């Protein structure tokens, strides 16, 4: 019988708090980090999982700084820069007068491998415009890192498996600390140091919960609900369920789920809610309604939920805590379906294109 420890995915999920700790150290050691006030806008970019990370990062940056940020997939940034960010990207001469000229932009490029083709090409193109500063967050000191003005490498987030778990979480912790620093929120920089210890306890307490839902093959569809900074995280755990288990899975904002998608809810559905503090009453009502429709619901939150963090960490910077138990849920489902979680169908760890 195969031991769980023989799967790289399992080892990487279980060991990720160590990578979180390194991410915090790497951000803290940077002496010359820019300030939010230095930029008119910030663009977060990545591909696949790191695009979803960018969605969460842009929402967090705006929440903490009150300044404009957006997330753009690396491929869109490369091929359709005018639609993504205005004048940056060298539009055709006949269109330049019609496209607004933005002020200084900070480009935050996120890539596990540091070798993703679209992200590298987009950064090269933007640097050629000489009107952006570039921050790179990665798990490997590779080509992308050498294009950076500020380089954050979390080597303990490196992975053998294809689906991102430890790497994603480590880079998200780095982004969380990065946004707090740009916002000048030193109070938050103190509290994020508790994340690794809280994460270890969370994994230990709720692994059996993740296993119970994951192994139940009566469930044939999963919906992950998250709003605000949690929507990008909902997208990411949805992707893990797709990649590792080949199961129908979708992410939604909480209130949007009522507008059509709830028609898919029945006794075979699992609805996971990433509960917030400030909007909890409205979000909990959505979960309650789905339960009356026959779904199995699982709320994740600080308190009074099926998975409780009990962290004492402010909501804006504890987002990574939603991830490990849901990653384990996908891992155990993969095994129950006779799949290999380390090698998802049709996927490779790095996408390289001839552009």
Nearest to 184 by CA among 64, 66, 43: 64
Q: Which residue has the higher pLDDT, 330 or 80?
A: 330
270: β partners:
222, 296
72, 84 in Cβ contact below 8 A? yes
Whether domain 195-336 has CATH 3.30.428.10:
no
**What is the full DSSP assignment across 63-82?**
HHH-SEEEEEEHHHHHH-HH
| CATH 3.40.50.10490 domain span(s) along the chain | 4-193, 195-336
Q: Supply the pLDDT for residue 100.
A: 41
| Cα(121)–Cα(45) distance, integer angstroms | 12
Confidence of residue 132 (pLDDT cuts 50, 70, 90): confident
Each residue of 191-238: pLDDT tens digit?
Answer: 999 999 999 999 999 999 999 999 999 999 999 999 999 999 999 999
Each residue of 46-71: pLDDT tens digit?
Answer: 999 999 999 999 999 999 999 999 99
213, 270 in Cβ contact below 8 A? yes
Which residue carries 């390194």 as its tokens? 22
**Worst-scoring range by mean pLDDT, 126-130, 270-274, 287-291?**
126-130
Q: Supply the pLDDT for residue 237.
A: 98
How confident is the model over 229-258, as a mean pLDDT? 97
Written as six digits, the tokens of 116 are 């993703």
Q: Which residues, including other chains, have CB under 8 Å from residue 243's CB and lie 6 or more apart?
A: 162, 163, 330, 344, 347
Query: What percentage of the chain reaches a pLDDT higher than 90?
Result: 84
Query: What percentage of the chain reaches a pLDDT higher than 70?
Result: 91
User: With a threshold of 0.85, does the pTM exceed it?
Assistant: yes
For the chain, the average pLDDT equals: 92
The matching CATH number, chosen from 1.10.15.40, 3.40.50.10490, 3.40.50.10320, 3.40.30.10, for 4-193 is 3.40.50.10490
């Amino acid at each position: 019988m195969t031991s769980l420890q023989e799967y790289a995915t399992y080892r990487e999920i279980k060991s990720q708090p160590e990578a979180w700790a390194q991410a915090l150290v790497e951000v803290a050691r940077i002496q010359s980090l820019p300030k939010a006030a230095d930029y008119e806008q910030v663009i977060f970019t990545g591909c696949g999982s790191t695009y979803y990370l960018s969605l969460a990062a842009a929402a967090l940056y705006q929440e903490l700084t009150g300044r404009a940020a957006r997330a753009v997939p690396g491929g869109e940034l490369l091929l359709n820069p005018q639609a993504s960010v205005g004048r940056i990207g060298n539009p055709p001469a006949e269109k330049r007068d019609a496209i607004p000229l933005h002020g200084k932009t900070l480009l935050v490029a996120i890539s596990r491998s540091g070798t993703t083709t679209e992200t590298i090409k987009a950064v090269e193109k933007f640097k050629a415009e000489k009107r952006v500063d570039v921050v790179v967050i990665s798990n490997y000191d590779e080509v992308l890192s050498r294009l950076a003005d500020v380089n954050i490498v979390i080597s303990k987030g490196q992975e053998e498996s294809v689906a991102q778990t430890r790497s994603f979480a480590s880079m998200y912790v780095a982004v969380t600390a990065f946004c707090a620093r740009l916002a000048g929120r030193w109070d938050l920089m103190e509290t994020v140091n508790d994340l690794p210890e809280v994460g270890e306890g969370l994994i230990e307490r709720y692994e059996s919960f993740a296993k119970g839902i994951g192994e139940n093959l009566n469930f044939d569809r999963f919906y992950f609900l998250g709003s605000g900074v949690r929507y990008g995280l909902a997208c990411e755990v949805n992707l893990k369920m797709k990649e590792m288990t080949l199961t129908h899975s979708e992410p939604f904002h909480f209130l949007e789920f009522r507008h059509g998608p709830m028609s898919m809810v029945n006794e075979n559905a699992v609805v996971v809610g990433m509960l917030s503090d400030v909007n909890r009453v409205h979000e909990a009502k959505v979960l309650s309604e789905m339960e009356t429709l026959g779904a199995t619901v699982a709320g994740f939150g600080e308190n009074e939920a099926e998975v409780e963090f009990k962290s004492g960490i402010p909501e804006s910077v504890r987002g990574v805590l939603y991830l490990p138990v849901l990653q384990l849920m996908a891992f155990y489902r993969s095994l129950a379906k006779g799949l290999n979680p380390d090698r998802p169908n049709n996927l490779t760890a790095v996408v390289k294109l001839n552009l």
